[in-house]
Structure 1
């Protein structure tokens, strides 16, 4: 039998929704306040890191901005020689197919990984990824921004002034969920993410965390060339 919430008449439903809306609006105001505080964070000036671009050229971190003043990087977990990389990273980056929509905000959004570029390009094709990738192999850049070899993923934000680059913000773990459309949609669904840690009514479907996440092979089968 399908798990259902209490079924009521429309006026009762609208009353309950209005009560929830008060909390939702309070959360929105708090997020606005956090964003305002984030815009007032100090910054750290970085050295001139050099990364490898997809055409195998070497570029400075300032050049990665491609003329824009702001840069967001997603640092994709990587294990050299592995055919399939982190499924969470693979699934997350598969969802960003039009990052140039951010161009009017004077920002570029790219992927950085510690893997060698030849493996990176093969993997990009295999899983059908449409982002622009850079490799920090041979550089301390990944480690210096909290995403070194053997470490986890991270988001980082940078600001450029000429050839000078400043690190302004970073997050990882559940702080990364604000970038994920799939989580935002799941959290407004009656059953939510259907993971065992979530607070749900009795009888709601729940499974162990990550069980419903796509594997890297799943992403390749949907969007890429799994035989590449």
Structure 2
């Protein structure tokens, strides 16, 4: 297996300083993007009804008294034993969301699955987020996450009983919201995925092959997980 070249401390620090210039520029660009996001207009939504663990609930009440809400729209395949590995793996990383209270915000999962199936699956894979069903609601389709579509992430603002949609992303747009890829990207070999620009001889694997699939998540974090 190839390895990075070995150099003296001064050479290493000089190379690191060059990289740091680009890293800081990227940080400032992300700050600028966030500033533009805060200036986006918003769209008023009708009064949707979802279903949670305690039964039907208005979208405005999913905020649980908060003014801001993030929803991750978890893909669902009826009658399948395991659901989307990407969705399952992504959402498994969010185990402590209480810090959002200080930001007057909440983060929940929305899925087209019937609520009893969704909650059973969450228990099976050890997911600690709150789940809501859109099985009988057009809400998912209205926010670019139809029942037969892919995953998505949406953000909303509430003013009394009126809910507004403020931001949406999908695909690699959700990467910035989890630590998993960020940690892999600082490793010497990175994610190892074949599409990435890496030096000659670096280990490469097919894209997605190192991602946790749903059975892996259940094994690591579910009720029968080994103590770690």
**TM-score (normalizing by structure 1):** 0.96
Mapped to 2, the partners of 1:214 and 1:30 lie a distance apart of 30
Q: 3-state DSSP class of the match of 1:111?
A: strand
Is 1:12 the equivalent of 2:11? yes
Which among 204, 214, 217 is matched to residue 202 of structure 2?
204
Q: Does 1:141 align with 2:136?
A: no
- Contact 1:51–1:60 under 8 Å retained in 2: yes
Q: CA–CA distance in 2 between the matches of 1:197 and 1:128? A: 31
For 1:182, the equivalent position in structure 2 comes to 180
Q: What's the CA shift string for 1:180-202, capped at 9, x where partnerless?
A: 21101111111110100000000
> How big is the shift at 1:80?
1.8
Unmatched tracts of structure 2, length 5 or more:
none
- 1:157–1:169 contact (8 Å) kept in structure 2: yes
Q: Which secondary structure does the structure 1 equivalent of 2:98 belong to?
A: helix
- 1:29-44 correspondence runs (5 A): 29-44=28-43
What residue is the counterpart of 2:215 in the other structure? 217
Question: C-alpha separation between the residues in 2 aligned to 1:121 and 1:29?
Answer: 40
Instruction: Give ranges in structure 1 of 5+ residues lacking alignment.
Output: none
Q: Deviations over 1:38-66 (max 9, x none)?
A: 000000000000000112x1111100000
RMSD: 1.2
2:158 to 157, 160, 172: 160
Equivalent residue number for residue 25 of structure 1? 24
Question: Deviation per CA, 1:146-180, whole angstroms, max 9, x where unpaired?
Answer: 11111000010000000000000000001111012
Paired residues, what number?
Answer: 225
Tell me how far apart the structure 2 counterparts of residues 89 and 28 of structure 1 sit (CA, whole Å).
27
Q: How far has the Cα of 1:213 moved from its partner?
A: 1.0
Give the aligned partner of residue 98 of structure 1.
96
Match of 1:117 in 2: 115
